[in-house]
Amino acid sequence: MKNYKFIFLLFTLFVFSQTNIYAQTNSEKQIRKLENQEKEAILKGDTTTLFKLWSPNFVVNTPYSGVATIKEIKGFLSSGQVDYTSLDRIIEKITFTGDIAIVMGKEIITPEKNTQNAGKTVTRRFTNIWMKTKGVWLLTARQATNIVVE
């Protein structure tokens, strides 16, 4: 009888652990998809998509040593200060804490001619923070640091 209880306990633990792994994998797939949508929207200058993905309280610790609010970021976009020929985002880790997803990795960008570091290849580290609000993931905060400009 003790063996049956032990086997039942192991089976129950296995089922619950698989359910948890599936849920995390599903959430991670969602965040990866959103990260890609945001990256593509930046490359295309698609502000309609960006404003759907970004929280109204979106804030960025920019690679140029300043903090920018959503209003300032909209200004950067409309003036062409955020304009890339290429943007490659390599996600190294996604961590979930409740309704918060923290994405970390590196980006390799080539800014357009009318921006800082125009025509150079810029490698930077980034952290994006997504918050699930009313069932929707929104990019709420971002930090980016240039580490190599060539």
What is the spatial order of strands in the sheet that 100-111 belongs to? 67-69, 54-61, 136-149, 122-133, 100-111, 84-97
CA distance 83 to 111: 6
Q: What is the DSSP letter of 115?
A: S
CA distance 43 to 27: 24
Neighbouring C-beta atoms of residue 145, cutoff 10 Å? 14
Kindly indicate the confidence band of residue 76, based on its pLDDT and cuts at 50, 70 and 90: confident
pTM: 0.78
Stretch 17-44: mean pLDDT: 81
Residue 112: its pLDDT value, please? 79
Q: Which residues contact 134 (CB under 8 A, 6 or more apart)?
A: none
Domains of the chain, earliest start first: 2-149 (3.10.450.50)
Residue with tokens 């880790």: 93
Residue with tokens 């009318």: 114
Residue 3: its pLDDT value, please? 64
